[in-house]
Structure 1
């Protein structure tokens, strides 16, 4: 029987690891349990290979089969790993508390956001107390040009790096409008200069987003704190919220 060379073994292991990462990323993107056949199509892998990897991940507790036994999703062990990360990350631990406090104090939906895989990502979200709830979910990833936070998270990046991160699709808003890349880059510069950012009616026509930067070092934006409020929020109220947001973000920056 032919045996694989050490180099072939290494390539095979790397390919298998990449498939595992693709499976985890696809489940994260879809945000729901999914059948193995659909999962195989989603990651463009043979069904037999996908089934073998899923079985191993289920045995390891990283994935679990849904109640019907035909679909798969994240397992409890990944949740526990995530909690370990929260406990070990001082910025995230403090940030979660700041976001919860801000939401309770203002009654508005509050978020802690970071840059992840070239996307604006909600790391923690706390809903407001309004009867009309604004959609916001931890783990949600949104194109950077759609958000106030995206303009702050890219502050300090060179133009070439920004261009490499933004696709044509990222510039198309949910309602079909297209943002100009030059305008987006100008907005990044303005956000950096003012120390905060406000966007209106980008993700939907009924909300505006207020964001302030959290620094991990001078000039380095590690995260943002933001509030998502109704678009008809008065200028006076908006100004009050921006001041409060900047104060809390600065406090978190010191903690970082």
Structure 2
């Protein structure tokens, strides 16, 4: 019941935030970040009506998805993805949030072609240019989007970012806003196979600010499942 209460509370907060800034709450999806959490907790969340889950590690995710069922939920890959794991990401995940290099995009396209799938992806931007985080530089993203638009088995759906952590979530706002501006710029290019429907940004501590700046996918782990062991 605790997980259901947590989900209900966060969904209510999302709805309130969206309505306050004039957005449709139905345009915002809550992704339960379930890395390092057992399949049983995800099953509890599914039973509570939740359908979107984010995983960071391929091997761990494969085991849990095999146990729970590929069609039991909508699975999001939100961790760093190596090219040699692309075939597994394509097999198991509905949306890959963390494409940051042309080499990786090519490999995902290749693996998706093998199974006749058009893989939905997001481009990850390292918006604060942090050495400890993955992601393309902001100045590289437009060219990367152009390149991805040429791949028949990729569908670019938007951008993902993870700004620096701040005790005051308001300090993350300029980063969220910068990513939204880049997203709008790519959308205006009218590239084939590029829809730019989504901004994946905002976590447990700052998702309200992210929603105010246009987030459509918010990634919340601790506030749903509790702190990782």
TM-score by length of 2: 0.29
Computing the radius of gyration from Cα coordinates, the structure with the larger value is 1
Larger RCO, structure (CA 8 Å, separation 6 or more): 2
| Bigger helix share | 1
TM-score by length of 1: 0.27
